[in-house]
Structure 1
Amino acid sequence: MNKYVKYGLIAVLVLGALWAAAFFIKSNSKGAIEYDTKTPFIANIEKKTVATGKVIPQDEVEIKPQISGIIDKIYMEEGDDVKAGDLIAVIKVVPNEQALNSSQGRVKNAEAALNNIKIEYDRNKQLFDRGVISSQDFNNLKLRYDQAVLELENSKADYQIIRMGSAGGSSSANTNIRATVNGTILEIPVEEGDQVIQSNNFNDGTTIATIADLTRMIFEGQVDEGEVGKLKVGMPLEISLGAIENQKLEARLKFIAPKGVEEAGAVQFKIEGDVAINDSIFIRAGYSANASLVLEKKDSIMVIPEALLQFDKEDDKPYVEIATGEQQFERRDIEIGISDGVNVEIISGLTEEDKVKIWNKTEPIKKGEEEEEEATS
């Protein structure tokens, strides 16, 4: 190999090495990132919390029978408006055989006692008319006679109640189930032919119907223990209904539970608020709802977007980077206040003239790099 060939190979190797180095540097180099800035501005901030719950009637009344039996007829339907005294259903009495037999025996005993005292009364009345016995003896006998008459009437009435459910078929008979309040029938959980149990000291009884006034509604929801301490009775609520879009209802907080309930590892406290019903919409009992509560509010304060904040890794204190020149920045420690999740209050450390670095901007991917990434993926 002569020296010219040797020098040619060396030149080719050098040029190849230079080309490879240039390609490697070009493909791995990043262009300079130009950061934008944003100045603080004046705004209002509201710190809110949302309580999930539902809208329910303030009072629900359960109508229960005063006598056991079978539903003979139902005159109302769910959703009907009723007034106090309206007939809802009628119960057919199925008497207890033992109670019925005992009542019949009481009637017979009363009849026998009355017949016996009547004979004695009639005989002594004749003697009294003739002046044979004193008025005191006759009056005592008459009292016993009157008592026997009343005992017979009472025993017959009890027998009638056990057998028919009432003593005389009056409009207030126990077999007639009537509304006790004005409102709307929310539910009738029984059907004709169902057996029902009377309400007494030992049994709640079978519910015939549930009635509520749908013009008086409340919001019932729950808030977390971390926020319940910031609530006060009388605070305004903004109610959003899941079933009705673009409708907001106003409410006012009236109750905060003194005791919390643990659910899924977190303690929740029940709250209630009186809801102002809008006559233009119909609110059904049990609608799911969210209540927005303003925990804290500040007007006309200096704020910056919360995304501009950085936090020190050691003491977790907030800071930002301030522009000092063309794409030159320095750290500035700041003190922050309330935040609504978008903007945060600046208490100290910044002025309205400062230019805050939007620090998390990244360089756009070049077209060649984008194609290479797509090919590798």
Structure 2
Amino acid sequence: MKKQTVPAVLSGIFILMLASCGSNSKEQAAGAGAGPAQPPASYQVFTVTPKSATLNSDYPATLQGEQNIEIRPKVDGFVDKIYIDEGSVVKKGQLLFSISAPQYQQDLNNSAAAISSAQADVSAAQLAVNKTKPLVEKDIISHYELESAEYTLAARKAALKQAKATYNTAKVNLGYTNIVSPVNGVVGTIPYRTGSLVSSTNANPLTTISNISKVYAFFSLNEKQLLAFSRTVKGSTLNEKLKNTPPVTLILSDDSTYPEKGRVETISGLINTETGSASFRATFPNPVGLLRSGSSANVRIPSPVKEGILIPQRSAYELQGKHFVYVVDDKNAVKSAEIEIMDLTAGQFYVVTSGLKAGDKVVYDGSSALKDAAVIKPEPMATDKVYEGLNK
């Protein structure tokens, strides 16, 4: 019996030792996996503050001078001399071209000769009247002879008037061979050179003179933009709205801002059925001739916003066509909030129409990597820093 009891006792001790080792291994493994809790990540946070700003709407525009006058010959002939060059600045009445047309000089000479002949006929007819009149008074010849002489004189005077009219026409036609500028302006392209045969039926003009002391910028607004414009600008009539429209700015093709302000002066009364837009015209002074006809630019129309909810664009993120921001609650937990924004922007800022209110705390860099209910360590930002660059 004793021999059998000792092995049994040893077996029990061995089992207890194995159990103890297994327990210690689990505790060590548990101890190895556990560690100190990670601190929340830091994010810059700002408080939403109402701000006043100016929203800018840009519209593509085509520039045209106040006057664009095609210079065409009124007589047929060869270009004899060109007195200007493309791009030249000319004054009203300045000589531009001369046309070689000898026939008009010949017509003038013939007309002058016809006048001389007609004047001689008038003198002869007058002499006949003067000779006949005393003879009639003395009843030497009949009164019929006097009337006939007077009729002849009248016919000769009429012929003289006709000759003078023909002369004036010939003189005008000859004057058309010298072409002068009808306005102050800038010369366009010159397709015909010296020796070219030109006439009033040519497809292309000799050149175009653009009066660019004022420049018109033509642009369009679609129906939605036109309604927004009409509702935003004060006034009960179209003329009142035009007067209340703020001055507009011209953004040139190199993205620079034209120094002179312009005014919107006309709005088309009809909407183009093909484009669905209405035409606008803004006028800009052009004292140094920087703007030229045919150039392209953008007309920028300002729209003021007073005490609006503005946030930096970087604070929002877009998901499926909607905009969201992360709002921080009192426990420093973030929650995504959908916002609605205006189509217009104030520089790098969105104008929020719903979803936020003054006093809300928003994560400055709206990263979509954040998750709802995540706890962060907020780092408050100064208001001036958040809205730095607004309206610049």
- Is the TM-score greater than 0.5? yes
1:302 & 1:187 partners in 2: Cα distance? 53
Name the CA shift for 1:211/1:329 in 2 (closer, same or farther; >3 Å): closer
1:273 to 282, 289, 308: 282
- How far off its partner does 1:288 sit? 1.8
Larger of the two Rg values belongs to structure: 2
Equivalence map 1:1-377=2 (5 Å): 34=41, 36=43, 38-39=45-46, 40-93=48-101, 121=128, 128=136, 131-134=139-142, 137-148=145-156, 150-151=158-159, 154=162, 158=166, 165-166=170-171, 173-198=175-200, 207-231=205-229, 232-234=241-243, 235=245, 236-242=247-253, 245=256, 247-261=258-272, 266-277=275-286, 279=288, 282-294=290-302, 296-306=303-313, 308=315, 321-324=326-329, 328-330=333-335, 340=345, 342-345=349-352, 350-355=357-362, 360-362=367-369
2:168 & 2:269 partners in 1: Cα distance? 48
Query: Unpaired segments of 5 or more residues in structure 2?
Result: 1-37, 230-240, 371-392
Q: Secondary structure at the match of 2:212?
A: coil
Question: Would the aligned equivalents of 2:248 and 2:300 in 1 still touch at CA under 8 Å?
Answer: yes
Query: Unpaired segments of 5 or more residues in structure 1?
Result: 1-30, 364-377
2:337 & 2:254 partners in 1: Cα distance? 49
Name the CA shift for 1:268/1:76 in 2 (closer, same or farther; >3 Å): same
Q: Secondary structure at the match of 2:224?
A: helix
Q: Secondary structure at the match of 2:192?
A: coil
1:329 & 1:213 partners in 2: Cα distance? 62
**Letter of the structure 2 residue corresponding to residue 223 of structure 1:** L
Question: Would the aligned equivalents of 1:338 and 1:345 in 2 still touch at CA under 8 Å?
Answer: no
TM-score w.r.t. length of structure 2: 0.60
Q: Secondary structure at the match of 2:250?
A: strand
Identity of aligned residues (%): 18
Question: Would the aligned equivalents of 2:79 and 2:194 in 1 still touch at CA under 8 Å?
Answer: yes
Name the CA shift for 1:142/1:257 in 2 (closer, same or farther; >3 Å): same
Q: Deviations over 1:178-217 (max 9, x none)?
A: 222233333434322233334xxxx798633322332222
Q: Deviations over 1:264-323 (max 9, x none)?
A: xx53432211103354x73333322111112x321333333456558999xx99775533
Name the CA shift for 1:359/1:327 in 2 (closer, same or farther; >3 Å): farther
1:204 & 1:216 partners in 2: Cα distance? 30
**Letter of the structure 2 residue corresponding to residue 207 of structure 1:** P
Name the CA shift for 1:184/1:41 in 2 (closer, same or farther; >3 Å): same
Question: Would the aligned equivalents of 2:56 and 2:344 in 1 still touch at CA under 8 Å?
Answer: no
2:298 & 2:52 partners in 1: Cα distance? 23
**Letter of the structure 1 residue corresponding to residue 276 of structure 2:** V
Q: Secondary structure at the match of 2:140?
A: coil
Question: Would the aligned equivalents of 1:45 and 1:297 in 2 still touch at CA under 8 Å?
Answer: yes
Question: Would the aligned equivalents of 1:73 and 1:90 in 2 still touch at CA under 8 Å?
Answer: yes
**Letter of the structure 1 residue corresponding to residue 280 of structure 2:** I
Name the CA shift for 1:42/1:241 in 2 (closer, same or farther; >3 Å): same
Partner residue in 2 for 1:375? none
TM-score w.r.t. length of structure 1: 0.62
